[in-house]
Amino acid sequence: MSRPAVALDTALSLALGATAAALGVLAAPVALTAALAWPLLLLATGHYRHVGLGESRLTPPLRILGTGARAAVLALALAPWFVTADAVALAALVAVLSVASTVPSLAGIGRRRPRVVLVGRPRDVREALAELRTADNHEVVAACLTRSSKIPLGDLPTYLGFEATSAVAAHHRADALVVLPGARLTHAQVRRLHWSLAGVGADLYLGTGLLDVEPQRTRVVSTAGVDLLHVTSPVLHGPRRLLKDVVERSLALVVLVMTLPLLALLCVAIRRETPGPALFRQERVGLDGVPFTMFKLRSMGNDAEDERSELVAHNEGDGILFKIRIDPRITPLGRQLRRYSLDELPQLWNVVRGDMSLVGPRPALPSEVARYDIDPRRRLVVKPGVTGLWQVSGRSDLSWEESVRLDLRYVDNWSLRLDVSILARTVQAVLGHRGAY
């Protein structure tokens, strides 16, 4: 239980209850009773328990608002039993209490990162440790290994075997025990481990071995006494994909028409700065590996493609990508165009034509696709996008592996809701200029 959060909610509720009584909105006994009951109600609904793995920052506030809504309805129902109580005023106080409690919850006050113990093979523990530390929303406090590790895990306390796993969780005050794939625990061992953790207060999580699969695509089923995790297929075709295509092409056409004056001014500025066409045309690879011509505002000199071979030795990208943070081929105006992603406006015409989507994987060059292995080729099962997870997660700052992983996560977990989220985050990414060079 988070004592600071309990103390803060109690102080807030007492202050608001006292204010309601002082203003004469409610009788003092009723206001005081409601104020004292509010933190107890949050405690009963599990608000002060430790944070579960996978919970977003919005989960606690939404839980508070849901509790407040139910409490307000209950207050309206019970108010007639209290002679001095105004039903509407009592419900309003409960609503104010719930909104007030969401503020420290959204700010993260009293909320700590879940403490996690990892269980599994040394290699699996190292990989999971790296992932969790990169996300920085968990605190790994110990590890139980199947065998001794030749590669140390830094200052992380490590234990050999699973016999004392629950004792390790208790010693390190862990909130969760994560059994990684490859630990090779029998069904009986997992069941006994679950029993032993009940007295410790730590939750048990079993790794599935799945990579970047959103929870809404999974469900646990039981057949013939065997519990299985069912993973639904990605949505690559069908009505929702058709709706995405129609909406995006229509929206792209509207935005393109609205920005035509700006595009005309930028084209004139580009032509005046350096000789050559204002539009840059380049072959990219689209859906199912079909090439298409992608349009951009030219941000480099007219001979940039010919000069690329001379800059290969200065490539700062890893893997297949070619990128240079301070590229001498970029013009002063081109640097500003890239900074605000204005050079990508002509790609709206690619969306209207059906070559690209507003949201999708990064459009790849034929030379890059020629070097793809199995995983990156998965990008080609959908149209490339003007923006995507790669755009809102770092753009050019991403490594090749990170870029591929983000694109594959998008392809396999696509939904209309995800597209809307990415479009909203794109505005923030463009204004923040992160990775724009």
Instruction: State both tokens at 186.
Output: 């029998």
27-33 LR contacts (CB < 8 Å, sep 24+): 27/84, 27/85, 29/84, 30/82, 30/84, 30/85, 30/90, 31/93
pLDDT digits (tens), the chain, 437 positions:
567 777 787 888 888 888 888 887 777 887 888 888 888 888 887 777 766 777 767 777 788 888 888 877 777 776 666 555 577 777 788 888 888 888 776 766 656 778 899 998 989 989 888 888 777 778 889 999 988 887 888 888 999 888 888 899 999 988 889 999 887 888 888 888 888 888 888 889 998 888 888 888 888 888 887 888 899 989 898 999 999 999 999 999 999 999 999 999 999 999 998 888 999 999 999 999 999 999 999 988 776 665 565 565 555 555 566 666 666 678 888 888 888 889 999 999 999 999 999 999 999 999 889 989 889 999 999 999 999 988 888 766 677 888 888 999 999 999 999 999 999 888 887 776 555 54
The C-alpha atoms of residue 121 and residue 124 are separated, in whole angstroms, by 5
User: What is the structure's pLDDT at 227?
Assistant: 83
Assessment of whether the complete model's pTM goes beyond 0.85: no
**Cβ atoms 190, 218 nearer than 8 A:** no
